[in-house]
Amino acid sequence: MGKYHQQQLSRVASIPGVVHYLVICIFVFTVIISTIHWPRDDDKKLAAALGEECNLFEGKWIFDNDSLPLYQEKGCPYMSDQLACEKYGRTDLSYQKWRWQPRHCDLPRFNAMGVLEKLRNKRLVYVGDSLNIGMWVSMVCLVEQVIRPHLKTMTINGSLSSFKAIEYNASIEFYWAPMLVETNADDPANPSAPERTARVQAIEKHAKHWTNSDVLVFDSYLWWLGDKMKVLWGSFGSPDAIVKDVNMPLPYEMALRTWAEWMEVHIDRAKTQTYFVSLSPTHYRAQDWGGTEGQNCYNEIEPIRNVSYWGRYSLVSMMRIVERVISDLQARDLKITLLNITQLSEYRKDGHPSIQRQWEPPLTKEQLDNPISYADCAHWCLPGVPDTWNQIFHTYITRF
Ligand SMILES: *[C@@H]1O[C@H](CO)[C@@H](O)[C@H](O)[C@H]1NC(C)=O
Ligand SMILES: *[C@@H]1O[C@H](CO)[C@@H](O)[C@H](O)[C@H]1NC(C)=O
Ligand SMILES: *[C@@H]1O[C@H](CO)[C@@H](O)[C@H](O)[C@H]1NC(C)=O
Ligand SMILES: *[C@@H]1O[C@H](CO)[C@@H](O)[C@H](O)[C@H]1NC(C)=O
Ligand SMILES: *[C@@H]1O[C@H](CO)[C@@H](O)[C@H](O)[C@H]1NC(C)=O
């Protein structure tokens, strides 16, 4: 070994050597950090996706059987039998393989670790009806795959279901309140009360269960459809209570105002992020998309291609009420992010369970003989459309 090399060797152990060591450490650290966090490319996508110039809710569906589905129906231990279309006999699985492509940017890929990291020591609660159950199950299935079996739990207690990622002390929950305010359909074991009645000025009974959450995701629409709604003043079972039929959409607006007032007073603006999911469309009228009268989503296996398609049961008047209530809250310094999933879901006439789901109570022979009569064209198969809602939602939560 020459003199030169000996000098180099002794230098490594001397003061400049410490610098050298630090440089290596910083390098290794950087490599580790950049592998754990978003790859650069996704960082850029995320920035672009959340910038003013890109509306994530505007775009089209592209068939992509390479990157989808994001999980397997059978592989998710928390799958709901009402959404497990493959298990209940659907053989054409293309509904699992449509990727949402926003017009002006790419949707960042779903990062389960990123979501869990953001939810460390936190509580995310989805509140609402069965459409929000679908979105909650989707989120649980999307993240549970990266957690080992003994490090996750699911508990169901009445209206509240909680998935917990133990190592992260993170919980992803669902609270059943189909109309947000108090109703006679609030018992999840017995939701179909004969005379659906809403106590539009009362929400505390539900709200106390999610007051202290860190992230809240609300939805409520389908249960309000109809010309009139029974509205209750006073409490259920009280002899002084008054019930009146009120024309829609006034009861919806009253309920959302009650919700908004409650939020305004009780939500800790420094702690809680709040989202509202816009109405989830149904596909009960095939003639709306150029199909045959009398048909519905039964046997549909492809999305609608008409970019301006809008179903007639997606009531714009009710959508505007949600937008107004949210913008009034914004004026009072409470920010609610609207997850405007209506249009992108409108295209997916192929995404509903139709007849391929569990039916409780079992179907009658008459029904079985006429599948169109009982096809479910309101909920969504999983994996499927709600995964996209969550993928968009996750671009917001991973940024904060
Ligand atoms: C994926 O889709 C393409 C285009 O429709 C098709 O040609 C190909 O066979 C499909 N691959 C698999 C594995 O299903
Ligand atoms: C665990 O998470 C809950 C929220 O779900 C939080 O209130 C609690 O402080 C967390 N525990 C620790 C030790 O941080
Ligand atoms: C279930 O919920 C009720 C009402 O919030 C609560 O009092 C009870 O402790 C909960 N039970 C369990 C096992 O968590
Ligand atoms: C596309 O959808 C819109 C709104 O639903 C409808 O008015 C129009 O007729 C449809 N166009 C075609 C070509 O089907
Ligand atoms: C939500 O999307 C619908 C249809 O794409 C649009 O009409 C509406 O203005 C949007 N709402 C907001 C608040 O962006």
User: What would the mean pLDDT of 272-292 be, rounded to a whole number?
Assistant: 97
Which ligand approaches the C-alpha of residue 285 most closely?
4
Query: Is 130 considered catalytic here?
Result: yes
In angstroms, rounded to a whole number, what is the distance separating the alpha carbons of residues 56 and 105?
8
Query: pLDDT class for 190, splitting at 50, 70, 90?
Result: confident
- Greatest CA separation for the chain: 103
C-beta separation of 231 from 244 below 8 A: yes
Ligand 5 midpoint to CA 340 (Å): 6
User: Which pLDDT does position 398 carry in this prediction?
Assistant: 86
User: Which pLDDT does position 3 carry in this prediction?
Assistant: 40
User: Which pLDDT does position 51 carry in this prediction?
Assistant: 56
Q: How do residues 50-62 score in pLDDT, each as one tens digit?
A: 555 689 999 999 9
By alpha-carbon position, which residue is closest to atom 14 of ligand 2? 121
Ligand 5 midpoint to CA 46 (Å): 21
User: What would the mean pLDDT of 323-327 be, rounded to a whole number?
Assistant: 98
User: Which pLDDT does position 48 carry in this prediction?
Assistant: 55
Residue 69 clears pLDDT 50, i.e. is over it:
yes
Report the predicted TM-score, pTM, of the whole model to 2 decimal places.
0.88
User: Which pLDDT does position 38 carry in this prediction?
Assistant: 41
Q: Of 87, 108, 90, give the one whose Cα is nearest residue 99.
A: 108
In angstroms, rounded to a whole number, what is the distance separating the alpha carbons of residues 296 and 111?
35
Residue 40 clears pLDDT 50, i.e. is over it:
no
Spell out the domain ranges in the chain.
35-399
Which ligand approaches the C-alpha of residue 97 most closely?
1
Query: Is 379 considered catalytic here?
Result: yes
- Residue owning tokens 């230098």: 11
Q: Which amino acid would we find at residue 55? A: N
- Residue owning tokens 């599948």: 371
In angstroms, rounded to a whole number, what is the distance separating the alpha carbons of residues 201 and 46?
40
Ligand 1 midpoint to CA 73 (Å): 20
User: What would the mean pLDDT of 178-202 be, rounded to a whole number?
Assistant: 90
User: What would the mean pLDDT of 140-162 be, rounded to a whole number?
Assistant: 97
- For residue 316 and ligand 4, the question of a CB distance below 6 A is answered with no
User: What would the mean pLDDT of 81-106 be, rounded to a whole number?
Assistant: 96
